[in-house]
Amino acid sequence: MAAAFAGAVPGGCAGTNNGNGGAAGENGAAGGNGAGGDKTGAGGATGGTAGSGGSTPGTGGGSPPGTGGAATGSGGGVGAGGRSGTGGAGAGGAAATGGSSGGGTGGNGGNGGNGGSTGGNGPEVWVSPTGSDTNAGTQAAPFLTIQHAQGAITAGGTIWVMAGTYQYDRTVNLSLAGSANNVTRLWAVPGGARPVLDFSQQARNVSSNRGFTVPGSYWHLKGFEVKNAGDNCINISGSNNTVEWVEADGCDDTGIQITASGSGTGSNNLILNCDAHDNFDTATGGENADGIDAKLNIGPGNILRGCRSWNNADDGYDLFGVTQVVTIDGCWAIANGQTSTGMKGANSDGNGFKLGGNGVPAVHVVTRSFAVGNVKCGYTLNNNTATPDVSDSGALANNPDTCSITIRNRVTITMTAAQAIAAQRDANGNLPAVQ
């Protein structure tokens, strides 16, 4: 961090009359923002040294001379800590210059830079496809399995998933219970290739053979692919969890499913910027393998946002039997009803957004979402005894676009299914604008 410099303070000029008042000191330049890093960061360094006010008095005339600048410039503030990576060091502002003759006050120094956002507060461990659970779990000597890594941290810790393909034959059960101030992170290491967690060694058509189960709370999963599990890729029965920028594909049931294990469970979960595709359940003839679900007796507050679901055997999104309101915002449902290789079961439905079922009421909210090229309905009520609120959304080339659903402020789109599937997310995982 560059040090701030003290202001230069010239004396006042002589005069026949009273000395002129000093010019006001210049403000210090603002401190630069701290750069975010890749791990939990310390706060930014303290800002720059305070600038000195003017000191030399002006040479007065017959009356008293002008005085130097009065106040000194203050240093920059302390930079805040970061969620990911090392918080940036905040650069303090340049010191203020004092007044040239009497009366002026010194300017204030700039503020210190800010670090990244707040985040994981606990210990950190690493896993790698070439690691071993007998290792220390450091970046240089990582563990092999996520399950073992979980036992080495406490709530609020971080498990860093290094690039490569992991071959797992058993379910990873994320059971730690955290809090709003102790979110446990399972994150791909930023900047590298997306890690792949392959569960193809599991037996298919076995309901307990899921890739991940999440009965815990305040977990944040981010940045990897889960594939080929014998049931769900990811099954969430806990509350206050986030699954972000995860790809779930090739599993023998729904890709990502929020469910309930008891009263009040499965609440306040966020599925953010995720992709789910090519999930197919052989045992039930394609009846259950959706892309992303929030179904059955889940609690309130679940949100699906910025997600994309395509070529799943059954539906894109399924809210079957839910009495609590689920919010779907900015999601796409594409070509559901068969896989990308043409696999279609005898019981495959092929709806884009299935917004109910089992004859129970829930006014689900769907906004800014799009259904393209699904085998059956783009949006369907599906025996919901209430009327979901679908607005600012669009549909194209479904069969038909809506089934007992009205879209308020319907948006016209031209994007084909192939274009929607091929669309690239940005560096933060966000989908592009719909055409």
Q: Is the model more confident about 27 or about 390?
A: 390
Residues 269/246, Cβ–Cβ less than 8 Å: no
Q: Model's pTM, two decimal places?
A: 0.74
* Token pair 């670090």: residue: 115
Start-end of H helices in 273-348 = none
Q: Residue 119's pLDDT is what? A: 53
Closest CA to 166 of 185, 150, 188, 184: 188
Q: Residue 120's pLDDT is what? A: 65
For the segment 120-141, the average pLDDT, to the nearest whole number, is 95
The answer, yes or no, to whether residue 430 has pLDDT greater than 90, is: yes
Give the whole-angstrom CA distance, residue 308 versus residue 260.
23
Give the whole-angstrom CA distance, residue 1 versus residue 20.
37
Q: How confident is the model at residue 176 (pLDDT cuts 50, 70, 90)?
A: very high
Residues 211/199, Cβ–Cβ less than 8 Å: yes
CB neighbours of 95 closer than 8 A, spacing ≥ 6?
4, 5, 6, 7, 28, 48, 49, 50, 51, 52, 73, 109
Residues 335/310, Cβ–Cβ less than 8 Å: yes
Question: Across all residues in the chain, what is the average pLDDT?
Answer: 80
Among 46-60, 197-211, 392-406, whose mean pLDDT is lowest? Answer: 46-60
* Token pair 């005069």: residue: 15
Q: Residue 95's pLDDT is what? A: 33
Residues 392/376, Cβ–Cβ less than 8 Å: no
Give the whole-angstrom CA distance, residue 227 versus residue 220.
18
Q: Residue 185's pLDDT is what? A: 98
Q: Residue 63's pLDDT is what? A: 33
For the segment 46-53, the average pLDDT, to the nearest whole number, is 36
Q: Residue 12's pLDDT is what? A: 33
H/E run at residue 166: strand 165-167
Q: How confident is the model at residue 121 (pLDDT cuts 50, 70, 90)?
A: confident
Query: Which positions are annotated as active-site residues?
Result: 354
Q: Residue 222's pLDDT is what? A: 98
Give the whole-angstrom CA distance, residue 91 versus residue 31.
5
The answer, yes or no, to whether residue 45 has pLDDT greater than 70, is: no
Widest Cα–Cα separation across the chain: 106
Q: Residue 251's pLDDT is what? A: 98
pLDDT, tens digit, 9 for 90 and up, residues 312-354: 999 999 999 999 999 999 999 999 999 999 999 999 999 999 9
Question: 114-123, 255-264, 353-362 — which one is most confidently predicted on average?
Answer: 353-362
H/E run at residue 196: strand 196-198
Q: Residue 262's pLDDT is what? A: 74
Question: 18-22, 25-29, 330-334 — which one is most confidently predicted on average?
Answer: 330-334
Partnered with residue 372 across adjacent β-strands are 334, 396
For the segment 44-53, the average pLDDT, to the nearest whole number, is 36
